[in-house]
Structure 1
Amino acid sequence: MHRAGRAIAGGRSEAMSASPLRRAFSCRLLVQSIMDHMNFGITLSNRAVPLGLCSVRDLLALADAVEACPALDSVWCGDALFVNRRLDALTLLAAVAGRTERVLLGPACMGSFALRNPLVFAYEWASLDVLSNGRTRLVACAGGGSSALWQAEGEALGIAAGERRRRMIENIHVLRHLWTKDNEPFVGQFTSFSNVTLEPKPVQSPCPIWLATDSAGRFWRLGVCAYARRKDCGRLDDALRRPTRIQTVMGVHPAGRP
């Protein structure tokens, strides 16, 4: 992605003063450079259905179009519980999994991740990975915000706002534990259990868990990559470099991570 970004910046200035033929050739090289270094997907607006802006059939038709388009490789959707109206992310992704064979599937950001029971969620996500034959990408995040709606959502589920990030981190460890171990105890701050074996296990081993965060500290604590959103160009360059720097120090192999 970084090399593609530099190609865009440099190629644009050259192309502006070049002949039409050279500009066309430069643009073709820029597009090829982008396609070589970046993957593209579509986020389904699962809020649009309860808002009356589109039908379920419209959403599924868009997923079919992504499956048929070789330039696109993934289908995503939003996630939240009570803060805003939307179709449940897991249910929608399962519907898409049943009618596609190629595209990756995941939440753009699993905003309810810290609020969900991690044992139940581990079972649900493993089932989705089986249904999709190993095409899931779980993007975890703490969720939350400053509005009264976020506060009310947490209170309704008995989860304090200050616990979200710690619960998110612990839930990730619970998922990894259940997906890789059988009948082994787990002791955490919020979740503890013993004599539990999860079946089915995910098809993927390890099953990818990505983290949506702007915090360098959480990169280090989890040893996973993250995606950057709503970045200006100056900050985006550092955000793209940061996971690689941390992986190098930690000795983490970046294969299969964004």
Structure 2
Amino acid sequence: MRHLNEKIKVQVSNLTKSFGDLLVLNNVSFDVYEGEFLCIVGPTGCGKTTFLNSLTHLYEPTAGEILFEGEQVNLRKHNITYIFQEYSAMEWLTVRQNVRFGLEIKKNYKEIDKKVSDALELVGLSDFADYYPRQLSASMLQRVVIARAFATQPELLLMDEPYGQLDINLRFRLEDEVVRLCKQTNTTVIFITHNIEEAVYLGDRILVLTNKPTSIKEIVTDDLPRPRDIADPRFVAMRNRITDLIKWW
């Protein structure tokens, strides 16, 4: 249960998105609180990525609205960063240049060298700053993307299944790292995943979606203590509960 005095960062009101005759998002409404790690799960193809693309105006909503701190979302004004499913490090740039590129795109030139250095240190890549992506492991490539995101000091971080291509050990290490960084910087996160265990491991709350036409089936508060133990009976019970919610959509 969230406290009434907590600040609402993102407000989704009656969001509807159709593609021709196909109704994907059907009158979806919920709030995201400042500093919250919100995970969104649901059946494959239910519209999780469509929601993020609507938030960032890659898609224009058919109806309803998404507000950021009470205003219409404006990517030129609001500090929002999007980490996609695919690796997005640029092969022709070094690690340092990749991280710097995010700041340059946002025209955030103040103390740019320090911000880049700090971001590389946060993700443990300071010693690899002059390496190229082809010289890095999969885990390190994702760290580059995370460093680029955190260098901009985003108020809202959107993550769309960023660890889907990694093995389980790498995934858990990066998940721990992102939670640590987000709590350290008070970054608000909306994290899309099809992996229920990942959602329970990461989320402060878990938003469970139905199949298309998609609406919210339930919002589950995840108050398990951190760091979380996937063998903890409470963890297993919550994972099973969410599995059942999705299974019986």
The interval holding the TM-score normalised by the smaller chain is 0.3 to 0.5
Question: Where is the strand percentage greater, Structure 1 or Structure 2?
Answer: 2
Structure with more helix by fraction: 1
The structure with the larger Rg is: 1
TM-score normalised by length of structure 2: 0.34
- Higher RCO, 1 vs 2 (CA within 8 Å, ≥6 residues apart): 2
